[in-house]
Amino acid sequence: MSWASVLALANEFQATLAKLTPDIYEEMQGIAEGAGFGILDIVALNCRSEIALGRFSDGCTSISWKKNENSRVLAQNWDWTRMVGENLAAVSIEKAGKPRIYMVTEAGIVGKIGFNTAGVGTGLNAIRAKDGSNSKLPIHVALRVCLESTSVENALQTLASCGGVASAQHILIADPTISLGLELSPVGDVHLKEDEFGMITHSNHFLENRYVDENPFKPGTYLRLERIRELAQNLAKDGVKGEKITPTLLREKLFTDSRNAPYAICALGDPNLHRTVRSCSLFNIVMNLSMPNPSAEVVLVHPEGRMGDSVMKMPWV
C-alpha cells in the first residue's frame, strides 16, 4: 500500500478515536508533535492491524496460568518480522486517576502487551480475518483501555461502553483473581475461561468465536497451540503449581521450545518467506499478577531462537 492510501484509511479512524477515547487521542497528538509527524501518521500506527485486515503475518503464543485464588501468571512470545525489533520500546505510563502501566510496545503505539499496578495484564494474538469497522476501537487502543482498567470486569465494561473492537483479535487478559481469553470481533465476541488446569492457551486462530469468517494463518498456529498445551499440562501433571510457576521455568520449558520449526513456539521464521512476512519470536514476557506488587520479566529472543541472557524487570522505576 502507498503511504497516502494508509493515511486515507487512518483518516477514517481519526473521528472515532477523538470521540470514543479523547484522552488517548490527545496523547497521540502529543506523540505526533514530539516526533515531528502528522497526527494521521500516528493514528495509522495505532490502527495498523485494522488497516492490514488479514494481510499481516505476526504470530504469538500465549498462556495464562492460575497460581492460586489470588494470583495469575500471564506470558507469551511475541512474533513478527525481525525488522521491527529495533522499534520495540519498554514504556511506563503514569496518568492521574489511573493505574500506572508498564508495557512492551512498538514506538508510537499507545497500547500493547503488559500490566498495570492494579494487577491487570494483557497479551495479544493476531487473528487473520477481514471483518472490520472504523466506528469501533482499534485493537491497540482497546489494549490501552484494558491497561487503564482496575480489573478484568472493569475492562470488559469499558470495552462494551465503547462499542467493542474494530477488527478480529484475541486479547488474553487477567487480574489476580481471573483470566479470560477475549476472542473479539466487530460482529460478536466470545470469552474463553480457564480449563481444569487453571490455564488458557492461545495462538493465532479463534477457538470458539464463529461470528467471523477467518482467513487462517499457516498451519503453525495449530501446531503451536497443541504444543504449548501439551507442555504446560505435563508440567501441571508433574506437580508444578503455585510459586513453582516461575518466569525462568516458563522460558525454559515452554517458550524456547523448537518442536515443529520453523513454526515452533519459539519461532525462527520460515526461510522460504520474504523477510517482511517472515515471523520470528522477538521477545518473551512473563507477568506475575499478584498484589500488592505485580511484576514482569522481559527477555529478547536471538535470531537462532535462544533467549537472551539479559532479563529486564518491570517495574524498573
Task: Give me the pLDDT at residue 219, please.
Answer: 73
Residue with cell 512470545: 77
Among 167-181, 189-203, 211-225, 234-248, the minimum mean pLDDT is found in 211-225
Give the 3-state secondary structure of 235-289. Answer: HHHCCCCHHHCCHHHHHHHHHCCCCCCCCCCCCCCCCCCCHHHCEEEEEEEEEEE
**Residue in the block written with cell 487502543:** 141
Per-domain residue ranges of the chain? 1-46, 55-314
Q: CA–CA distance from 194 to each of 68, 91, 181, 185, 271 (Å)?
A: 13, 29, 8, 21, 36
Average pLDDT, integer, range 263-281: 83
Residues whose CB falls within 8 Å of the CB of residue 130, separated by 6 or more in sequence, listed in order = 53, 54, 213, 215
Per-residue model confidence as pLDDT tens digits over 70-127: 999 999 999 988 888 999 999 999 999 999 999 999 999 999 999 999 999 999 999 9
Q: What is the mean pLDDT of the chain?
A: 93
pLDDT at 54 exceeding the cut of 60: no
Q: What predicted TM-score, i.e. pTM, was given to this entire model?
A: 0.95
Residue 57 confidence (pLDDT): 57
Burial of 83 (0-12, 13-18, 19+ CB in 10 A): exposed
**Among 220, 242, 202, residue whose Cα is nearest residue 69:** 242
- Using the predicted structure, report yes or no on whether residue 53 has a pLDDT greater than 80: no
Q: Are 158 and 144 in contact (CB under 8 A)?
A: no
Ramachandran sector of residue 101 (left: φ over 0; alpha: ψ -120 to 50; beta: rest): beta
The answer to whether residues 177 and 153 touch, using CB atoms and an 8 Å cutoff, is no
The bridge status of strand 169-175 relative to strand 71-81 is: unpaired
Q: Prior bond to 219 cis, omega within 30?
A: no
Q: Which of 286, 277, 281 is nearest to 303 (CA)?
A: 281
Rg (CA), the chain: 18
pLDDT at 55: 58
* CATH superfamily assigned to domain 55-314: Penicillin V Acylase; Chain A (3.60.60.10)
